[in-house]
Amino acid sequence: MTKLQFFFSLCCTFCISLLGVGVFYLLNAPMPWLLGSIMALAIASRFPKLPLGSVKFLSSPARAILGITIGSAFSPEIIHYLSDFFSSLILIFPFTLLATAAGVWYYVKVLHYDIHTAYFSAIPGGLLEMVALAEQYKTNLHKVVLNQSARLLFIVFFMPFIIEHWIHISLSGGQKITQHLNQTPLIDLFLIFLCAIFGWKLAIKLKIPGGTLVGPMIVGILAYSLDFIHARPPTEIINIIQLILGSMVGFVFVGVSLKEIIKISLQTLGYFLILCVVSGVFILFVWWFTDFPLLSVLLAFSPGGQAEMNVIAIVVGANLPYVALHHIVRLFLVMSIAPLLIQWFTKKRT
C-alpha cells in the first residue's frame, strides 16, 4: 500500500466514523463520539470493498493525551484524600481473581477452549496488553483478540445506556466536558502536549505496564499539582480521543466474517453476563459499605478497558482519580500476576 492509498483509507475510516457520530447526535444517543464511531465502523466492516485503514498507530498518542487529562483531575485536595480510596482499592484483587477464574471455567468447561486461550480470553485486562501477553504463549491469538474485543464492545456500548437510564445522567453529547479549544491558552496547550510526549516516552523506556497512559498521567499529576499547567485538555481534543478509540474498537471486526462475529459475540455474551454478576456484587458491596458515589464505583469496578472507562468517567463527571486508580491497580495486578496465574491454571489441568 502506497502512502497515498494509506492516507485515502485513513480518511475513509474517519469519514465513516464521523458519519456515525452525526447519526448518534441526531438520535440524541449517549456518547456519540465513542459509540457512534464504533457502530459506524462495525457496520462498514461488512462491506469488503470499502478502503478502510487502521488507526492503531494513533492509539499511543491518544492514550498519552488521555493520561494527561486524567492527571489534570488530581488536584492537591484530591491527593490529600487518596488514602481514603484504600478500602475500595484492596477489593480489586479478589474482584480480578474471581472474574478471571469464572471466565476460565466458562471458556474451558462450556466452550472447550484450551487453557491458554481461555485464560487470555477471560482475564479482564486491556485489549492491547492482553494480546501482547498472549503472543508469548501457545494461544489461539485470533480468538483472544475477538473475545477481548467483543467483551470491550459490550461493556463500552452498554455502560452509557446504564448510566443514562438507571443513574439518570445525560450523555447526549451536547455537554461541555472541559473548556473549549478557543478558551485554552496556547502556552497551556503546548505544555499539555509536551508533558504527554515526555510521560509516554519515559514510561516506555522504564517499561511501565500501560505506560502510554500511566506515564503521562503521572507527569500530569505532577504538572497540575505544581501549577505548571493551569488549563485542562479542551473538550475538542477529548472528543478526538473518543473518535480514535471508537474507530480502533470498530476496526477490529474488519475482515472477519459475519458468521464468526455472531459466533464469538454469542460466546462472549455468556462471559459478559458472568462478569455483570461478579461486578454487580462488588459494586453493590462497595457502594453500601463506603461513602463513594454509585457512578464512580460502577465505573471503577467495570471490567472494561482502562482508556475507555476513563473516557466515560471524564464525560460523565465521575470522580476521575478514584476511577483511574482502580483501573491502574487492576492493570498492574493483571500484568504482574498473569504469568503466575497461567502457570497455576496449567498445573491444575495437568
In a domain, 278, yes or no: yes
Torsion-angle region of 31 (φ positive above 0: left; ψ -120 to 50: alpha; else: beta): left
3-class SS shares of the chain: helix, strand, coil, % to 5: 75, 0, 25
Query: 266-314: per-residue pLDDT in tens?
Result: 999 999 999 999 999 999 999 999 889 999 999 999 988 777 888 888 8
For the chain, give the percent of residues with pLDDT over 70: 91
In a domain, 256, yes or no: yes
Closest by Cα among 325, 295, 332, 327 to 221: 325
CB 85 within 8 A of CB 322: yes
Torsional sign, CA 248, 251, 256, 262:
positive
In a domain, 306, yes or no: yes
Q: What is the mean pLDDT of residues 161-182?
A: 75
In a domain, 55, yes or no: no
In a domain, 52, yes or no: no
pLDDT on residue 286: 95
Site of grid cell 492516507: 7
Give the number of domains in the chain: 1
The parent domain of residue 310 ranges over: 3-46+60-349
pLDDT on residue 172: 62
pTM over 0.85: no
Q: How far apart are CA 227 and CA 195, in angstroms?
A: 13
H or E stretch covering 307: helix 306-316
Long-range contacts of 333-338 (CB under 8 A, 24+ apart): 333/92, 333/93, 333/96, 334/96, 334/123, 334/124, 334/125, 334/129, 334/130, 335/125, 335/129, 335/133, 335/209, 335/210, 336/209, 338/123, 338/125, 338/133
In a domain, 53, yes or no: no
pLDDT on residue 306: 77
Radius of gyration of the CA atoms of the chain, in A: 20
pLDDT on residue 250: 84
Query: 207-252: per-residue pLDDT in tens?
Result: 887 788 889 989 998 999 888 998 989 989 989 998 998 888 888 7
pLDDT on residue 301: 95
Task: Identify the three-state secondary structure at position 245.
Answer: helix
pLDDT on residue 27: 86
In a domain, 129, yes or no: yes
In a domain, 54, yes or no: no
Query: Rounded to an integer, what is the distance from CA 182 to the centroid of its chain?
Result: 28
pLDDT on residue 1: 67
